[in-house]
């Protein structure tokens, strides 16, 4: 029931993860670099939307930019599993037909978001896992990561710190910068993308909310597009992304009210993190119950990025 409505004002919202993000822990240089990383992702997506391109192209481009930036927990900068390996999760969804693609536990593919898109467009499936997903990436000619590509010293240090503090469990606060993007294009279509390395020290093939359609990622032109970040187990149990869309669609709530209500539910369960939302009507939203969230927004009227909760 969607129709093209040319001439709508496009919108883009991105996140680079939520969590314990406080001024006292940040150096000016780190803060500058993080803001520049967010701005680069906004630029990549805005260039597409500003040229009349599609929301799905824009969220993929913004997500790839963040995946290629070692500062964020996705693609190259992904956190490490308990065994010191990289297992990447990603999902993409577009709102006109609710086409979706997702991958989990990928280890060799340079840009998991583009692999998720290939699953959506080039396979009859929605969700592929681990070795099979990597094999599909190779078959599709997607760029493979050269040896050592994911070996980032800061991620090794974080894993060692986790093991030193708490050797037999992961720490939900040790997640740094899952990434996501949502967009509304000038034809009135929405799309969402989310990509992550998951949680430092994850084990047993653990998969979070990010690649689960309806939990960490959702897009439907009848309501909104959502990308989530936070303690994934809780976001799965609250079906966060779909729940926000359902509240907008069936209760007629604003995107902000729907997102705030669902994040309150996540908090009630014991989870923390946040979401970005763009509604089909053009409302853009951040909602998070953590100290901060790396985030940014762009439209023809301007751009902004923010990190701390009080910005
Ligand atoms: N939600 C992600 C996961 O649980 C982590 C994060 O967003 O930081 O895998």
DSSP string, 189-212: -EEEEEEE--STT--TT---STTS
Beta carbon of 290 within 6 Å of any ligand 1 atom: no
- Counting ligand 1 atoms within 8 A of each CB, the residue from 226, 230, 239 with the most, and so the one to mutate, is 230
Neighbours of 160 (CB within 10 A): 12
Q: Which two tokens stand for residue 188?
A: 């009135």
| 178 assigned to active site | yes
Please give the distance, rounded to the nearest whole angstrom, from the Cα atom of residue 207 to the centre of ligand 1: 9
Nearest-atom number in ligand 1 for the CA of 198 is 9
- Dihedral over alpha carbons 240, 235, 196, 98 (to 10 degrees): -30
Instruction: Report the pLDDT value the prediction gives residue 168, as an integer from 0 to 100.
Output: 53
Instruction: Report the pLDDT value the prediction gives residue 216, as an integer from 0 to 100.
Output: 98
* Successive 10-residue mean pLDDT values, the chain, 311 residues: 56 91 82 96 98 98 97 94 95 98 97 98 98 97 94 89 69 69 98 96 95 98 97 96 98 98 97 96 95 95 94 90
206 annotated to a ligand binding site: yes
Beta carbon of 45 within 6 Å of any ligand 1 atom: no
**Would you give the DSSP letter of residue 210?**
T
Please give the distance, rounded to the nearest whole angstrom, from the Cα atom of residue 198 to the centre of ligand 1: 5
Burial 59-71, CB ≥16 within 10 A → b, else e: bbbbbbbbbbbbb
69 annotated to a ligand binding site: no
**Does residue 273 contact residue 229 with C-beta atoms inside 8 Å?**
yes
221 annotated to a ligand binding site: no
Distance CA(108)–CA(115), nearest Å, equals 11
Cβ neighbours for 270, distance < 8 A, ≥ 6 positions apart? 231, 234
Beta carbon of 199 within 6 Å of any ligand 1 atom: yes
Beta carbon of 296 within 6 Å of any ligand 1 atom: no
Closest by CA to 94, choosing from 17, 16, 181, is 181
CA geometry: angle 14, 20, 22, nearest 5 deg: 90
Nearest-atom number in ligand 1 for the CA of 235 is 1
Look-up: residue for tokens 């762009």? Answer: 298
Instruction: Report the pLDDT value the prediction gives residue 175, as an integer from 0 to 100.
Output: 53
Residue with CA closest to ligand 1 atom 7: 229
Beta carbon of 208 within 6 Å of any ligand 1 atom: yes
Distance CA(177)–CA(111), nearest Å, equals 16
Beta carbon of 196 within 6 Å of any ligand 1 atom: yes
Closest by CA to 62, choosing from 38, 86, 29, 87, is 38
208 annotated to a ligand binding site: yes
Does domain 11-308 sit in CATH 3.40.640.10? Answer: no
Return the axis-axis angle of helices 112-122 and 130-139, rounded to nearest 10°. 80
Distance CA(77)–CA(270), nearest Å, equals 27
**Does residue 167 contact residue 179 with C-beta atoms inside 8 Å?**
no
Distance CA(4)–CA(114), nearest Å, equals 25
Q: Which of 65, 81, 109, 178 is an active site residue? A: 178
Alpha helices (H) along the chain: 28-50, 55-67, 112-122, 130-139, 153-165, 232-237, 240-246, 255-269
Beta carbon of 289 within 6 Å of any ligand 1 atom: no
């Amino acid at each position: 029931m969607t129709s093209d409505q040319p001439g709508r004002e496009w919108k883009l919202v991105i996140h680079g993860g939520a969590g314990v993000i406080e001024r006292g822990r940040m150096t000016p240089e780190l803060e500058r670099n993080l803001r520049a990383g967010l701005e680069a992702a906004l630029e990549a997506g805005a260039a597409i939307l500003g040229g009349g391109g599609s929301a799905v192209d824009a969220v993929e481009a913004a997500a790839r930019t963040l995946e290629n930036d070692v500062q964020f927990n996705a693609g190259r900068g992904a956190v490490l599993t308990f065994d010191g390996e990289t297992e990447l999760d990603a999902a993409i969804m577009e709102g006109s037909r609710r086409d979706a693609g997702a991958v989990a536990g990928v280890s060799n593919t340079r840009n998991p978001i583009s692999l998720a898109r290939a699953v959506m467009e080039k396979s009859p499936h929605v969700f592929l896992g681990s070795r099979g997903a990597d094999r599909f990436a190779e078959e599709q000619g997607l760029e493979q990561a050269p040896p050592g590509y994911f070996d980032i010293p800061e991620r090794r240090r974080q894993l060692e710190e986790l093991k030193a503090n708490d050797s037999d469990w992961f720490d939900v606060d040790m997640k740094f910068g899952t990434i996501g993007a949502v967009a509304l294009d000038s034809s009135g279509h929405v799309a969402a993308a989310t990509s992550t390395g998951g949680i430092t020290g994850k084990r047993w093939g653990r998969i979070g909310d990010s690649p689960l359609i309806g939990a960490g990622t959702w897009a439907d032109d009848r309501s909104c597009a959502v990308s989530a970040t936070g303690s994934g187990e809780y976001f799965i149990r609250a079906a966060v992304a779909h729940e926000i869309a359902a509240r907008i669609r069936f209760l007629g709530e604003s995107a902000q009210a729907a997102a705030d209500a669902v994040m309150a539910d996540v908090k009630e369960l014991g989870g923390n993190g946040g979401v970005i939302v763009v509604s089909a009507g053009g409302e853009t939203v951040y909602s998070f119950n953590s100290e901060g969230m790396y985030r940014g927004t762009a439209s023809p009227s301007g751009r902004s990025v923010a990190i701390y909760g009080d910005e």
